[in-house]
């Protein structure tokens, strides 16, 4: 096992770079003194253990630690105390980060934490009774609280970066016993956002809205109540989380805050409404039934910066009848789930005619789904059947001589 001792932020950046280049796993980094500063080196494809030896890591209101696109695993042990400054400090990325030490505010500051500041499904695991007060934002992926752990005393905000399988998830491992009130208020939950109650066996749990701002999950062993602030809907479903627990998911409420679309006119109106939004946030379109395009083409999706469009088919189908192209995402971040996209045809225009030669036919782009250069699209439980693309016919070149 490689073992590097660090005494300042420069040492820490150097140790992270050395770990990335090393073939030794796990790579151990030991604090030799308190360190202040924000690391600029991302973890890249390695396993790292960070041992605090009773010292403190103060990220000074910046990045606590990020894992880059090559993945990785980082464990902060329980001998390292972490303090948060007045700005949101970022942790997570494309791998698992576990923090066993206590996270607290800097003296005179209100510290806050941002989980997974990139669209990703990986977890950040907190396993201490943390005391920071500025709140936690789950931009994407999972914030996991092991049994007995807390996310400080501030609100937990569900962010807008995650779409599809990257949607924000709060996982609580502790079992429910008696009647409990969860410490943190849950803010800005959107359709598809989830609470994974690992300690509540599936089959015994039932989510019940007590008021518009209080969700109670009933189980055989007791209840867990969550305070909600600015929820997108007041509808929740319970399903198995695949690990023996219960996954509580916010679902659409037809005719309420997330209206469902039932025909091509309503779908196009909803797309154009999303295109017109300039305030960053998540906009949902939910299918009420199967939709056939008939003779009407779908409106193009062209979102403004910071706007996220989540299209939920809810198990329904979008059918082009063999004549219409499918979804066309010109720009923006879009998530599509539980939708069948069938019988779409993207056909290019025909070339023009001319006495000196006809023009070439236009390209048929997309088929069931076209993703533009300025678009970022994720899909989950989406199927494509009998979709195609074809170029247009060449133009008439006139009579031969």
Span 320-363, pLDDT tens digits: 999 999 999 999 989 898 999 999 998 765 444 555 444 443 45
For residue 276, the model assigns a pLDDT of 83
* Euclidean distance between CA atoms 291 and 327, whole angstroms: 13
Only one residue has tokens 């005494």, namely: 7
* Euclidean distance between CA atoms 193 and 306, whole angstroms: 18
For residue 307, the model assigns a pLDDT of 81
Decide if pLDDT at 145 tops 80: yes
Q: How confident is the model at residue 32 (pLDDT cuts 50, 70, 90)?
A: very high
Does residue 283 come out as left (phi exceeding 0), alpha (psi in the -120 to 50 range) or beta? beta
Record the tokens describing residue 195, joined without a space: 């609470």
Q: How confident is the model at residue 256 (pLDDT cuts 50, 70, 90)?
A: very low
Q: How confident is the model at residue 401 (pLDDT cuts 50, 70, 90)?
A: very low
For residue 78, the model assigns a pLDDT of 96
pLDDT tens for 48-99 read 999 999 999 998 767 888 888 888 999 999 999 999 986 768 888 889 999 9
Decide if pLDDT at 281 tops 70: no
Burial level of 276, CB count in 10 A (0-12/13-18/19+)? exposed
Decide if pLDDT at 211 tops 80: no
The pTM (predicted TM-score) of the whole model is 0.66
Strands 56-58 and 27-31: unpaired
* Euclidean distance between CA atoms 89 and 65, whole angstroms: 9
The sign of the torsion formed by the CA atoms of 177, 179, 185, 190 equals: positive
Residue 294 has a CB neighbour count (10 Å cut-off) of 13
What single DSSP character describes residue 22?
-
pLDDT tens for 217-239 read 988 888 899 999 988 888 888 88
Distances (CA, A) of 51 to 27, 74, 94: 11, 11, 22
pLDDT tens for 152-202 read 999 999 987 655 567 899 999 998 888 889 999 999 998 889 999 998 888
The sign of the torsion formed by the CA atoms of 159, 160, 166, 169 equals: positive
For residues 99 and 122, the answer to whether their CB atoms sit within 8 Å is: no
For residue 400, the model assigns a pLDDT of 45
Work out the average pLDDT over 364-388: 87
Decide if pLDDT at 306 tops 90: no
Record the tokens describing residue 9, joined without a space: 């932020």
Q: How confident is the model at residue 14 (pLDDT cuts 50, 70, 90)?
A: very high
For residue 187, the model assigns a pLDDT of 94
Percent of the chain topping pLDDT 90: 50
The mean pLDDT of the chain is: 86
Decide if pLDDT at 377 tops 60: yes
For residue 280, the model assigns a pLDDT of 67
For residues 158 and 202, the answer to whether their CB atoms sit within 8 Å is: no
- Which residues are CB-neighbours of 86 under 8 A, at least 6 positions away? 61, 106, 109, 110, 111, 134
Decide if pLDDT at 392 tops 60: no
| DSSP 3-state of 119 | coil
Decide if pLDDT at 388 tops 90: no
For residues 326 and 320, the answer to whether their CB atoms sit within 8 Å is: yes
Work out the average pLDDT over 304-310: 84
Work out the average pLDDT over 235-251: 89
For residues 154 and 130, the answer to whether their CB atoms sit within 8 Å is: no
**Phi then psi for 385, rounded to 5 degrees?**
-140, 130
């Amino acid at each position: 096992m490689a073992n590097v001792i660090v005494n300042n932020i420069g040492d820490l950046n150097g140790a992270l770079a050395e770990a990335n280049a090393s073939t030794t796993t796990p790579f151990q980094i030991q604090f030799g003194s308190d360190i202040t500063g924000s690391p600029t080196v991302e973890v890249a494809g390695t396993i790292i253990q960070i041992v605090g030896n009773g010292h403190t890591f103060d990220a000074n209101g910046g990045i606590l630690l990020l894992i880059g696109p090559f993945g990785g695993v980082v464990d902060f042990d329980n001998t390292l105390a972490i303090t948060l400054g007045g700005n949101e400090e970022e942790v997570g990325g494309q791998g698992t980060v576990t923090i066993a030490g206590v996270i607290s505010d800097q003296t005179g500051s209100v510290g806050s934490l941002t989980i997974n500041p990139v669209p990703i499904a990986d977890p950040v695991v907190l396993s201490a009774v943390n005391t920071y007060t500025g709140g936690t934002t789950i931009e994407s992926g999972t914030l996991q609280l092991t049994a007995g752990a807390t996310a400080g005393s501030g609100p937990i905000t569900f962010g807008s970066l995650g779409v599809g399988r990257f949607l924000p998830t709060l996982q609580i491992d502790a079992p429910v016993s008696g009647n409990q009130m969860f410490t943190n208020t849950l803010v800005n939950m959107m359709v598809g956002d989830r609470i994974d109650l690992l300690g509540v066996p599936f089959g015994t749990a039932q989510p019940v809205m007590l008021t518009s701002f209080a969700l109670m999950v009933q189980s055989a062993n007791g209840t867990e109540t969550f305070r909600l602030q600015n929820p997108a809907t007041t509808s929740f479903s319970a399903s198995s989380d695949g690990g023996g627990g219960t996954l509580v998911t916010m679902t659409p409420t037809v005719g309420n805050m997330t209206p469902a679309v039932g025909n091509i006119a309503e779908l196009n109106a909803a797309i154009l409404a999303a295109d017109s939004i300039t305030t960053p946030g998540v906009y949902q379109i939910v299918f009420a039934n199967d939709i056939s395009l008939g003779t009407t083409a779908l409106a193009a999706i062209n979102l403004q910066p910071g706007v996220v469009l989540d299209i939920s088919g809810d198990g329904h189908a979008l059918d082009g009848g063999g004549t219409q192209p499918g979804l066309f995402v010109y720009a923006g971040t879009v998530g599509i789930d539980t939708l069948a996209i069938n019988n779409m045809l993207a056909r290019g225009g025909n070339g023009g005619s001319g006495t000196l030669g006809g023009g070439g036919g236009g390209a048929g782009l997309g088929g069931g789904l076209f993703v533009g250069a300025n678009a970022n699209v994720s899909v989950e439980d989406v199927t494509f059947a009998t979709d195609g693309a074809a170029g247009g016919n060449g133009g008439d070149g006139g009579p031969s001589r």
